[in-house]
């Protein structure tokens, strides 16, 4: 399994032949100007909610790659109206088998409006169940007790927002990791905008004091967590 960080909450996961791309927001992110969205691989595009900083490049990448869209039903319908019919519409608590992996749509405490103001349904996150281990991409969320439900998936790692203001900050993300029982966290949703700019040394120290590994790959970097 390989993970590539494309900035903000956009993460690529390669497992077997599948390239999962979460929350593509690249062309609008000045920090990710070195990423060419036309070369980002995707067999599946997963959208946690409808906000522009999670979906901005989804249409272009879905149309270029023919990847399958995985999201809630409202977001899949919104893309179907744009001609993107290959999708897996889900809702909170559901799990489905996509062959090379299984996916669950999990809770998030956030909001979800599409860029044009349409309803983006309920926001969520994803648990991906693979032969190489199970992982979580939390989308945008605050800390919530329901995160304890993820412990039973024996997560290999979790991608958690740490930037505060719009989501939980790093101190709450440490608590989230404890709820989930994960010892490795990939930090996301930080430093993209002034409101989510954080003290990275303080974030590293907070995770270190809880004996949780915080991975902060550079934009464009591929790691094997």
- Smallest gap, in angstroms, from Cβ of residue 5 to Ni ion? 18
The torsion defined by the Cα of 38, 123, 151 and 173, in degrees rounded to 10, comes to 80
Binding segment (CB under 5 A) for Ni ion, from list 28-36, 100-108, 134-142, 214-222: 134-142
Tell me the closest approach of the beta carbon of residue 22 to Ni ion, in angstroms. Answer: 13
Q: Least distance from C-beta 17 to Ni ion, angstroms?
A: 30
Q: Which is nearer to Ni ion, 122 or 140 (CB)?
A: 140
SS (H, E, C) 183-199: CEEEEECCCCCHHHCCC
Structure tokens at 14: 């390669």
| Among the residue ranges 73-81, 93-101, 140-148, 210-218, the one whose residues contact Mn ion (CB under 5 A) | 140-148
Site for Ni ion in 36-95 (CB under 5 A): 51
Residue 162 exposed, middle or buried by CB count within 10 Å (0-12, 13-18, 19+)? buried
From the list Ni ion, Mn ion, none, partner contacted by residue 122 (C-beta under 5 to 8 A by kind): none
Q: Is 172 an interacting residue with respect to Mn ion (CB under 5 A)? A: no
The least CB distance from residue 51 to Ni ion, in Å, is 4
Considering only 122, 140, 164, 172, the residue that binds Mn ion (CB under 5 A) is: 140
Applying CB under 5 A, the span of 59-67, 133-141, 168-176, 204-212 interacting with Mn ion comes to 133-141
* Region at 199 (left for phi over 0; alpha for psi -120 to 50; beta for the rest): beta
Residue 217 has what DSSP assignment? P
Rounded-to-integer distance, Cα 120 and Cα 117, Å: 8
Given CA atoms 69, 27, 196, 173 in this order, what sign does their dihedral have?
positive
Residue 115 tokens read as 């860029």
Which residues make Cβ contacts (< 8 Å) with residue 38, sequence separation at least 6? 64
Shortest spacing between CB 130 and Ni ion, in angstroms: 26
**Residues binding Mn ion: number (CB under 5 A):** 2
For residues 40-99, which are near Mn ion according to CB under 5 A? 53
CB of 54 to Mn ion, least distance (A): 6
Give the interface with Mn ion as residue ranges (CB under 5 A): 53, 140
Give the interface with Ni ion as residue ranges (CB under 5 A): 51, 140
């Amino acid at each position: 399994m390989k993970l590539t960080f494309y900035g903000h909450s956009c993460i690529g996961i390669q497992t077997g032949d599948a390239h999962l791309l979460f929350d593509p927001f690249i062309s609008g992110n000045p920090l990710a100007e070195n990423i060419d969205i036309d070369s980002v691989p995707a067999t599946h595009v997963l959208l946690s909610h409808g906000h522009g900083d999670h979906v901005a490049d989804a249409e272009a990448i879905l149309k270029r790659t023919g990847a399958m869209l995985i999201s809630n039903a409202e977001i899949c319908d919104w893309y179907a109206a744009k001609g993107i019919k290959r999708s897996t519409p889900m809702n909170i608590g559901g799990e489905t088998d996509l062959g090379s992996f299984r996916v669950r749509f999990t809770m998030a405490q956030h909001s979800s409006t599409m860029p044009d103001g349409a309803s983006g349904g309920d926001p969520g996150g994803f648990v991906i169940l693979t032969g190489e281990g199970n992982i979580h991409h939390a989308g945008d969320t605050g800390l919530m007790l329901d995160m304890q439900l993820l412990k039973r998936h024996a997560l290999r790692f979790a991608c958690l927002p740490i930037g505060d203001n719009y989501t939980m900050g790093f101190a709450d993300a440490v608590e989230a990791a404890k709820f989930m029982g994960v010892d490795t966290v990939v930090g996301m949703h930080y430093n993209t905008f002034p409101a989510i700019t954080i003290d990275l040394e303080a974030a590293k120290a907070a995770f270190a004091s809880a004996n949780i590994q915080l991975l902060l790959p550079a934009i464009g970097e591929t790691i094997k967590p």
